[in-house]
Every structure is written in structure tokens, then in C-alpha cells.
Amino acid sequence: MRIAVIGSGYVGLVAAACFAELGHQVISIDNDVEKIEMLENGGVPIHEEFLPELLARHRGKNLTFSTDLPKSVRQSQAIFIAVGTPSTEGGEADLSYVEQVSREVASAIDEYKIVVEKSTVPVFTSQWVRRVMLLDGAGADHFDVASNPEFLREGTAVGDFLYPDRIVVGADTERCASLLRAIYEPLTSGAYYKGKSTIPNTTGAPIPPPIIVTSTKSAELIKHASNAFLATKISFINAVANLCEAVGADIKEVCDGIGADSRIGRRFLNPGIGYGGSCFPKDLKAFSSVARETGYDFRLLQEVMSINAEQRARFLRKVRNALWTLKGKKLAVLGLAFKGGTDDIRESPAIEIVKALLKEGCEVRAFDPAATERAMEVLPHEGITYSKSAYEAAAGADALLILTDWPEFAKLDLPRLKAALTYPIVVDGRNLHDPADMAANGFIYSSVGRPDVQASLTRPAGKNGKLVAATLGKAE
């Protein structure tokens, strides 16, 4: 199949590389000339596992890059729209890029093609796309508009694309549905998984994946409702974690207990400093506003969003509780990305917390394995320095804060960390460590939804007057 993917951001570039991997002839289009040149010259603009391999494998063969939208559209049978749909100030999805691209596609269409929404868009978008395309001169029989939402997560996007839990295709004509079925046939028939150089399965999803064919409206809703449900799961468990803190229970035990119910499931039940990223915050607002426009007040989503915001404020209170006053304190910060495994800092709770700490007059020394450069662009320059390792960040700090769930932060050399810090205080916003283990290693440790532990603060003090962690005790 000849496929054009318009937009070479996270979704578009991963989709283009994966379609090429499935054997299709793909053109990845963007109006950013520099990005296209970079991609043509072997560059990889995002940090994504297996993407460099796929680009190297297919660049110049199954996969080409272009800034020429009309030409690429004319050469393709399926046109996927994967341009940005940011939030407007009012919280709705800004669909102006989708509209602009639809008009450009309309003027280039000369024979039957399918135009497929891949970006996350609100219900009714496919109807609008069809309408503007007709107004811009595309013949009614020359195209169908479909919705084929993507469920990929940043950091594991390639694996999620090639090993999905399900493929959702929203198409209102059989002709359109059968073209989309053909595009995904290498996955749904299982043929792809028998290949020699297949990307390994890291998601544990069923093979072959099921394909769910629905109306376009249902597919649009499936995307928003999936993200809203996952965000609800996170806010729910954060709320339960807060209750655990109030009664002295342990959220991990509670999660294991409720997650073992197969109707609930253990995944996405990890409490922390709230969800962030380019999807959940934006999609929750957009879903809530689309519901409002249709006359339904989806109050549950408002609560999910407010619990999420409160979670960051609670974390700051934990830092204050651990340190008393904040002004002038030297803080080591581990993690700036919105989650581990990515360099993306969009709507990152870590960035928001660092900004708040800088405002309080703290001196921050931050380390992130991938997101530092991006963080530098948005964080103030005063009061913050960037380190090359967790231990360098910790050197001489009054406390260490864990803000992103990078796997390497769960495997820190604890004695080395303790030796580097001025005080052995760790506030863990991602529950990466075992409280008993932290106390046994001499730390004063707080996390989310679990009792704080602290080695007793007995005198005589150790060298330099530091507090000595002696016995394990629960914090008051």
C-alpha cells in the first residue's frame, strides 16, 4: 500500500516507520524543512526505543521524507493525518492544523483515497474533515474519512504500534474499512511476527492483535474515553494513596490487593505526583469540553483533573515537611521528563515542581538521563544547575527528590548516594524504593501513600554534625 503520513511528530513518525516496517511504501511529510532534512540525513528527532533501527532499516527504501504535501498525497492511496491538536485556552482541542491539512489534501485528490485521522481528535472531527474537503473541491466519491486512533505510549511507541492490545478502525463505508484492514493485515494475520528481523515484543500484548471496526464517531470516542479512563485510574489511586497516608496504610499493598482482581488490573495503578505528558492533560480537557458542548456535564473528569493538580501540591508539602524551610536549601532533583524512558517534558509534573521550588528560593541540582536539554529551554536559568549523574546531583545536597520513574533511579547505589548527600533525606514522588530498605540504609524517606520512615535522629551527630541514622522508626 502507498501511504502518506502528514506530520512527523511522535505519532506521525512512529506510524510512518512502523508502516514501512510492515512492508508499505511510506512518505512522511512535514512542513518543517529542517526536520525533514534531518530525517533524510539519518537524524532521529525523538528519543524512542527501536525508532533509530526502523529509520535506518527503511530510510530511502520503504520510507521517504518530503515537504511536498500535494505531490505525496497524489502518490498515495491512504493519507494519515498526524498533526498536532494542542489545547486552546478554553481547553478544547485546537483543530486548526487538521483543518488546514484537510484543505490541502482536498485540493490534491484526483482519485479515490482514504483520509485517516491518526491524531487524537474529538468526536465529529471526521464529519468536519469531510465537509471542508467537499467545500475545497474534493469529489464526494473520491475519498472517505476514517478514524484510526493510536494507543502508543511515549518511550514504548514502536512496541505499542507493532504489538497493540487492539487496532481500532472507525470507517463508515466498507470500501474504506477494507483498505484499513489491508494496511494492518501483516499484524492481524500474524505474518509480521514470523519475520526474521521482527522488533521484539516488549508489551506482552496478544498475537495476533484483534481489529475492532466501528463507526468513525465511535472510534473517535474510543480514543478520548481510553485516555480519560486511564487518567481516572491514576487519579483514583492517588486519592486512595492520600487516604492511606491519613490512616497509616500502605498503597502498594492496597494496589496489589485490588489490582489482582482481573476486572480492575494492576497496570496504571501507580500513585505518584500525578499524570503529565502531551496526551492525558490535553485530552481530559478536550473530552470534558466536547461533552459540555453536546450538553453533558462530565463532572467526573473535572474531579480527575483537580485530584491530579492537588497531587503536585501535596508533594511540595511533603518536601516542606521533610526540610522545614525551603529558602536556600540545596536540592538534588532526579528526573525532569514527564515519565521515565522519554525526553519529553510537556506538562511534566517534575518541571512544575522544580519551578515551584525555584520560586521558594531553593538551589536545584537536576539530573535526567534524557530530558535535560529540553528542560533547559523552559526552566528559569537562575538557581538551577544540571548534573551528569544522580550522584553528582546529590553531592552536598540537603535532600534528594525523585520526580520521574526512570528505571535507573530505582537501582541507585544507596550507600554511595548517602555518602554524597549532606543529609540523608529522600522524598520519592514515584515510590521507586522500598521504605524499609531506605531506612535500613540510613535514609529519612517519604514517598506517596506509604508511611514515612526515618532512622531515629539521635545524637551524637556524625562527622560534620550530620544527623546519624540509627534505627528504623515510623515518622510521626
Cβ of residue 414: shortest distance to ligand UGA, in angstroms? 23
Contacts to ligand UGA by CB under 6 A: 120, 150-154, 227, 230, 234, 268-270, 272, 275-277, 279-280, 338-339
Cα 421 to its chain centre, rounded Å, is 31
How far apart CA 287 and CA 371 sit, in angstroms, is 29
Torsion-angle region of 387 (φ positive above 0: left; ψ -120 to 50: alpha; else: beta): beta
User: Is residue 147 helix, strand or coil?
Assistant: strand
Cβ of residue 279: shortest distance to ligand UGA, in angstroms? 3
**CB of 277 or CB of 449, closer to ligand UGA:** 277
How far apart CA 400 and CA 423 sit, in angstroms, is 9
**CB of 192 or CB of 406, closer to ligand UGA:** 406
**CB of 9 or CB of 23, closer to ligand UGA:** 9
- Considering the candidates 18, 176, 279, 362, report the single residue annotated as catalytic: 279
Cβ of residue 44: shortest distance to ligand UGA, in angstroms? 18
Is 362 designated active site? Answer: no
**CB of 347 or CB of 452, closer to ligand UGA:** 347
Question: Helix 216-247 crosses helix 299-323 at what angle (to 10 degrees)?
Answer: 40
Residue 106 main-chain phi, psi, to 5 deg: -55, -45
Cβ of residue 213: shortest distance to ligand UGA, in angstroms? 19
User: Is residue 382 helix, strand or coil?
Assistant: coil
Cβ of residue 272: shortest distance to ligand UGA, in angstroms? 4
Helices of type H across 294-434: 299-323, 349-359, 372-378, 390-394, 414-420
**CB of 15 or CB of 152, closer to ligand UGA:** 152
Side by side, the strands of the sheet bearing 63-66 are: 63-66, 25-29, 2-6, 78-81, 113-117, 143-147, 167-170, 211-214
CA distances, 60 to each of 20, 56, 74 (Å): 11, 9, 19
**CB of 149 or CB of 442, closer to ligand UGA:** 149
Beta strands 167-170 and 211-214: pairing type? parallel
How far apart CA 316 and CA 446 sit, in angstroms, is 12
CA distances, 250 to each of 18, 259, 275 (Å): 41, 14, 21
Residue 25 main-chain phi, psi, to 5 deg: -95, 115
**CB of 2 or CB of 355, closer to ligand UGA:** 355
Cβ of residue 265: shortest distance to ligand UGA, in angstroms? 11
**CB of 338 or CB of 423, closer to ligand UGA:** 338
Cβ of residue 151: shortest distance to ligand UGA, in angstroms? 4
Residue 143 main-chain phi, psi, to 5 deg: -160, 155
Give the bridge partners for 214, in sequence order.
170
**CB of 230 or CB of 420, closer to ligand UGA:** 230
CB 287 within 8 A of CB 305: no
Residue type, 292: R
Cβ of residue 261: shortest distance to ligand UGA, in angstroms? 16
CA distances, 321 to each of 238, 316, 402, 476 (Å): 19, 9, 16, 11
CB 125 within 8 A of CB 148: no
Residue type, 83: V
Cβ of residue 35: shortest distance to ligand UGA, in angstroms? 19
Known catalytic residues?
279
